[in-house]
Amino acid sequence: MELCFATNNQHKLDEVRAIIGGKISIVSLKEIGCNEELAETTGTIAGNSRQKAEFVFKNYGINCFADDSGLEVDSLNGAPGVDSAIYAGPQRSHYDNIKVLLKNLEGIFNRNSRFVTVITLFLNGEVFQFEGEVTGKILYEKKGTEGFGYDPIFMPDGFSKTLAQMSMEEKNKISHRARAIEKLVKFINSKFE
């Protein structure tokens, strides 16, 4: 089975392809000829996920899924949340986003947070959503060079290293995206047994 993953983010593609393995052939937006930036204007993680998947399904006629993710920090009332990618501005800089988040957390002891991913699947005209999350804490400084986004400052509960200090294999066992993808794969396998 072939599915389009509605992204051109190579980090996300690599993660998802590693999680799914050879069960499902994953193609990117670029591979189906979609070179435009997909809108994320609904104001919610679930809504943005659906908006992107629906656009691809309606305009390219291919079964597809899209994700949207966010980092929600308790003491910041869930911010950056749906705006995680643009927290420091429209330039979408991981470095800038981390810098702004750490500044906003200066003097704050409660650093409990969670990463959440919602995946929307458009499959033969039907729509399904899957959520994954991982809880943890925001560190005071960056640690590690793997991963992307907020990974260098996020330490998952029960671990002594950040997501950026983990190998892709380790991260893919516990990450929010991995948990949502596992639900997606389980669902697809059950539909096509």
Q: What is the DSSP string of 25-41?
A: EEE-TGGGT--SPPP--
Higher pLDDT, 16 or 74: 74
Residue with tokens 């705006």: 83
pLDDT at 70: 96
Where are the domains positioned within the chain? Answer: 2-191
68 classed as catalytic:
yes
**How confident is the model over 130-177, as pLDDT tens digits?**
999 999 999 999 999 987 899 999 999 999 999 999 998 899 889 998
Q: Which of 68, 74, 96, 151 is labelled catalytic?
A: 68
Answer whether 26's CB lies under 8 Å from 19's CB: no
**Residue found by looking up tokens 């991995």 in the block:** 178
pLDDT band at 105 (very low <50, low <70, confident <90, very high): very high
DSSP for 84-100?
A: GGGTT-TT--HHHHHHH
Q: Model-level pTM?
A: 0.89
Q: Is 161 in contact with 172 (CB distance < 8 Å)?
A: no
Strand partners, 68: 118
pLDDT by residue (tens digit) across 6-62? Answer: 998 888 888 888 877 777 889 999 999 999 889 899 999 999 999 999 999 999 999
CATH class of 2-191: alpha beta
